[in-house]
Structure 1
């Protein structure tokens, strides 16, 4: 077996001491570096999340504006169509009569009350109180 000399032993001890001091000095520095990198990553993630939220909000705003514009266009079209119908039927009164006739056509009722000149319906109380033939007194 080979024996080390005193200088060789001193060299090994010195190398070990330098390695140990490098490790003791490097660990805190590495921890600071590691935390700094983690902080940068968290900041980048927060900025990315914020940008995504802003883009989503802009998309919702644009969508709402487009839906509102579409509703305005639809309403303008309906108003124009109503005006054309009203003018072709002789004004608002003719248009209202037309709508009333359409409503009557769409009902499956056997008895319909139509308003008279005064706006009151004609009542058929006499027809309802008469008894049908073959029924008692």
Structure 2
């Protein structure tokens, strides 16, 4: 009888352990799901906050760049005004040509320039590469 008593006790302990494990699982799983959702929400909130800070910093950098561009434009205008003042208040044709040539540097190597001739009309060579067939006289 002593051996069967130990078996019953062992079976009882195992069944209580399994009952406790199942009870803990029934309580723990919903609690874990709530905790997991809370942690997921916190992570999402932190990510959104970081993205907002990045957007604010980018906007501040853009504002600073625009301010610097405006200052550069003011300085260019001051320089142009001084150049006009040196030319006695009138922009000369030579200065306009200089500005035009300076602008051409930014266009690259494939710039076609037409030089005006009589009456300031350019000579257009649009038919240079076209072969016109000769029509025989009847």
Unaligned runs of 5+ in 1: 115-120, 124-137
Q: Which 10-residue stretch deviates more, 73-82 or 37-46?
A: 37-46
- CA pair 75-113 structure 1, distance change in 2 beyond 3 A: farther
Which residue number corresponds to residue 100 of structure 1? 96
Unaligned runs of 5+ in 2: 105-112, 122-138
Q: What's the TM-score, normalizing by structure 2?
A: 0.64
Which residue number corresponds to residue 13 of structure 1? 11
Residues in 2 aligned to 1:16 and 1:63: alpha-carbon distance in whole angstroms: 67
- CA pair 52-103 structure 1, distance change in 2 beyond 3 A: closer
Q: Offset at 1:122?
A: 7.0
Residues in 2 aligned to 1:58 and 1:110: alpha-carbon distance in whole angstroms: 49
CA RMSD, aligned part only? 3.2
Which residue number corresponds to residue 41 of structure 1? 39
Question: 1:4 and 2:3 equivalent?
Answer: yes
Q: What's the TM-score, normalizing by structure 1?
A: 0.64
List structure 1 runs of 4+ shifted beyond 4 angstroms.
103-107, 109-114
Q: Which of 16, 24, 27 is equivalent to 2:25?
A: 27
1:1-137 pair list within 5 angstroms:
3-6=2-5, 8-91=6-89, 94-102=90-98, 112=116, 121=119
Q: Offset at 1:4?
A: 1.5
Which structure would you say has the larger Rg? 1
Aligned residues: 112
Which residue number corresponds to residue 126 of structure 2? none
